[in-house]
Amino acid sequence: MKIHPSADERNSNPGNGKWFIVPSTLPAPGYETTQNKISVEYKAQLLRDLGLEEQLDSISITTYPTPTSQPLSQPPSGNMLLAALSTWLHALPAALLPSLDLTPAALLSAFPSTYSLYKPLLLLPAHTFRSPAWTTLLSALPLQPPLSLLPSLYATLAHATGATHVALNAPIPPQRASSAAEEGEEEGRSANVLRAPLALVPLHGDFGGRPTAAVAEEKGSSGAGPTAEDFAAAFWVSARQNGVVQVWAPLHTMFSRGNVSEKARVLGMASVRLAVGEGEGEGEGGGAVGCAAVDLYAGIGYFAFSYRKAGVRRVLCWELNPWSVEGLRRGAAENGWSVESFGAVGDLEGEAVEADFWVFEESNEFALEKILRLRNSLPPIRHVNCGLLPTSRGSWKTAVEAVDLAMGGWIHLHENIAVKDIEAKAEDIVREIQAIVDDEPQGSVSQGSQKERQVRLEHVEKVKTYAPGVMHCVLDIYIPQGGARVRYI
């Protein structure tokens, strides 16, 4: 390997002099298995042999283990990924790491010990290779085959975890580059309304090609959405949480492992059990009425599936991302549930649609109109989920008015709130919801009863930390009944 400047800033000499690394394969007896500083006596002898005895105080010598001399029988700290990584590092050309002033130990300590495994997908944190040690190593590796070592690195990590695909994970960006930005024009960014995982970086395995045309973000916009062929060619992953299977395409759809606790809470929520139990009463036709729920940001069925598993008879879903809708459809099939997608209310009117999930591939701006027109075809809507971060404010009015007037119900608002402001912010939100309720058209209700229709904050669930000092919260707000159900013709 080449002589190069030391990466250690501590190795700077007075007078603007710099230290350099000179790789060698000189033996260091007694130091074959551990990195160490050699003895002064051995150093002096070595420099005399090289004719450099006058540089005794200017030269530092560090030894490194022979790559094959330290087999690992147990993973470091029990981590199979680090064990595999250690094996890969020790298999590198002998002079590579010393030439970069690096050691296997330094690289292992700079490698994240956490990862997500959804077999056959291994997701590594976004910062996995961003440390100085790893950027130094990766920048020195040959990139072109047949000499490239990166494929063997990723294949090693995949094999260690039983995965076939590896990717760098990253938070969902709030914006996406438009064609203008990609061409270098200014202001070429738009909101990432589809919540697509644009920052995910595939490293190993075939994730399937992106659609040949851009996914349409709004109905009626130019550009075609993904085709059946696109769906078939994509890489799909599944996970089982709380006894529920969910399916998604990692290149196109987000998946949040941290929401598992909220999904479990929905499954066991007392208000959900109450609504399901009340729905088992006798209806006018002699059968059980059941109850319905609405998910205004359905995604792949994160919370919609929990409502259905908890006993809710029908769940209405609004979702813009066609990849998420496909994931919802596939996940529902895995759980034994049925799905119908509708482009217009007319598709439903006059027909007995018994599907567990009614999915509308459109903005939830149109949800209230659909719900009001379909009210007579649905069991009472008792729960509405608004699961958008950082705020679901845009759907609050729809959520309130979707709740069944005759029976009342609950809305569940997802919000990012500063930890120190949770109590005060919750009070502000309740006041805003009360104002919406006060303006809502009433059914057959007396003036006196209308005055008593007060919303109630039942619970604030702190789901997980979203950012330093910021918590992902869910506010459970009860919306009282407002009189007899209004019939819509």
Are 92 and 23 in contact by the 8 Å Cβ rule? The answer is no
Q: How far apart are CA 320 and CA 221, in angstroms?
A: 13
Nearest one of 423, 425, 437, 368 to 391, comparing CA atoms = 425
Beta bridge partners of 471: 417, 465
Which position has the token pair 């994509």?
Answer: 234
Sign of CA dihedral 401, 174, 265, 377: positive
pLDDT of residue 216: 42
pLDDT of residue 32: 36
Helix (H) or strand (E) holding 96: helix 96-99
Beta bridge partners of 189: 177
Nearest one of 325, 269, 298, 310 to 385, comparing CA atoms = 298
pLDDT of residue 3: 63
Q: How far apart are CA 353 and CA 312, in angstroms?
A: 16
Are 297 and 318 in contact by the 8 Å Cβ rule? The answer is yes
Q: How far apart are CA 22 and CA 98, in angstroms?
A: 8
CB atoms within 10 A of CB 235: 18
CB atoms within 10 A of CB 238: 15
Q: How far apart are CA 467 and CA 470, in angstroms?
A: 5
pLDDT of residue 42: 65
**Which SS3 state, helix, strand or coil, does residue 295 take?**
strand
Helix (H) or strand (E) holding 20: strand 20-21
CB atoms within 10 A of CB 338: 12
Q: How far apart are CA 108 and CA 86, in angstroms?
A: 7
Determine whether domain 256-479 maps to CATH 3.40.50.150: yes
**Which SS3 state, helix, strand or coil, does residue 172 take?**
coil
- Distances from the Cα of 309 to the Cα of 111, 263, 280, angstroms: 39, 11, 15
Nearest one of 102, 14, 120 to 65, comparing CA atoms = 102
Q: How far apart are CA 36 and CA 141, in angstroms?
A: 25
Q: CA angle 44-50-54, nearest 5°?
A: 55
Domain boundaries, the chain: 4-168, 256-479
Q: How far apart are CA 307 and CA 304, in angstroms?
A: 5
Which class for 42: exposed (0-12), middle (13-18), buried (19 or more C-beta within 10 A)? middle
**Alpha helices (runs of H) in 16-61, residue ranges in sequence order:** 40-49
Q: How far apart are CA 236 and CA 228, in angstroms?
A: 14
pLDDT of residue 7: 43
**Alpha helices (runs of H) in 36-95, residue ranges in sequence order:** 40-49, 80-90
Contacts of 463 (CB under 8 A, 6+ apart): 258, 259, 261, 262, 414, 471, 472, 473, 474
In tens digits, the chain (489 residues) has pLDDT values of 456 555 443 334 434 455 666 766 565 544 333 334 556 666 676 666 666 766 666 677 765 544 333 333 344 456 788 999 999 999 998 889 999 999 999 999 999 888 889 989 999 998 999 999 999 999 888 765 555 788 899 999 999 999 999 999 876 545 455 544 444 444 445 555 555 566 688 999 999 876 543 444 434 444 467 888 999 999 999 999 999 999 999 989 888 777 899 999 999 999 999 999 998 875 555 456 789 999 999 999 999 999 999 999 999 999 989 999 999 999 999 999 999 988 655 555 545 578 999 999 999 999 999 999 888 888 999 999 999 999 999 999 999 999 999 999 999 999 999 999 999 999 999 999 999 999 876 654 444 444 578 999 999 999 998 888 999 999 999 999 886 655 443
Beta bridge partners of 410: 383, 478
Residues in the chain: 489
